[in-house]
Amino acid sequence: MRFRPLAAAVLALVFTGCGASTASPRDVVRAWARALHADDNEAAASLFALDAAVVQGDQLIYLRTHADAVRWNARLPCSGTIVSMRENGSAATATFRLGDRKSRRCVDPPGAEAIALFVVEHGKIILWDQIGSQIAIGH
C-alpha cells in the first residue's frame, strides 16, 4: 500500500490557503540537515510540528509528540549533505548525499543519495516523505 495520495492531499491543502510561515521551507530543511549532521536529535525534532506525517516506503507514521520526533530522528542511520533543493510554495524537495552521523556509521554505499519532500507550515515540518534514493553517478 502506497501513501502518495496522502502526500498529494497534504500538498493540495498547503497550496490552497495556508498562512505565512516564520521560516521558508528551504531554511527549515537546511536547519534539519545541520541538526542531523551534528547528531542533535532534539534540534531536529523541534523542527517537526506535532502530528507531523512521516512516509518512508510503505510506512506512514505520525509524530504525535516531541518525544516521538526525537526518537524518529535518533533512529535515522545517516545524516545528509544537501546536494540540490527545489522549493515550491510550502514544499521543498531536497536531495541529500548520505553520510555518517556522529553516533554511528551510515550503512549506505558511498555516493548514496536520498530524496525527501518536506511540507512546512509556520516554520514546522508537517510532512516528511522519502520519495526516492539513488547512487550518485560520478561519485
Confidence of residue 2 (pLDDT cuts 50, 70, 90): very low
Alpha-carbon Rg for the chain in angstroms:
14
Q: How many CB atoms lie within 10 A of CB 120?
A: 30
pLDDT tens for residues 101-123?
998 899 998 889 999 999 999 99
Confidence of residue 22 (pLDDT cuts 50, 70, 90): confident
Classify domain 4-14+24-135 by CATH architecture: Roll (3.10)
In angstroms, the CA 111 to CA 16 distance is: 37
Dihedral pair phi/psi, residue 110, rounded to 5°? -55, 135
pLDDT of residue 48: 98
Question: Hey, where are the domains in the chain?
Answer: 4-14+24-135
pLDDT tens for residues 39-65?
999 999 999 999 999 999 899 999 999
Helix (H) / strand (E) element for 111: namely none
In angstroms, the CA 126 to CA 41 distance is: 17
pLDDT of residue 136: 64
Global pTM reads 0.81
Residue 69 reports pLDDT greater than 70:
yes
Q: How many CB atoms lie within 10 A of CB 29?
A: 24
Q: How many CB atoms lie within 10 A of CB 65?
A: 12
Which residues make Cβ contacts (< 8 Å) with residue 29, sequence separation at least 6?
A: 82, 85, 92, 94, 118, 120
For residue 57, give the C-alpha cell.
Answer: 516506503
Residues 129, 117: contact at Cβ < 8 Å?
yes
Dihedral pair phi/psi, residue 113, rounded to 5°? -130, 150
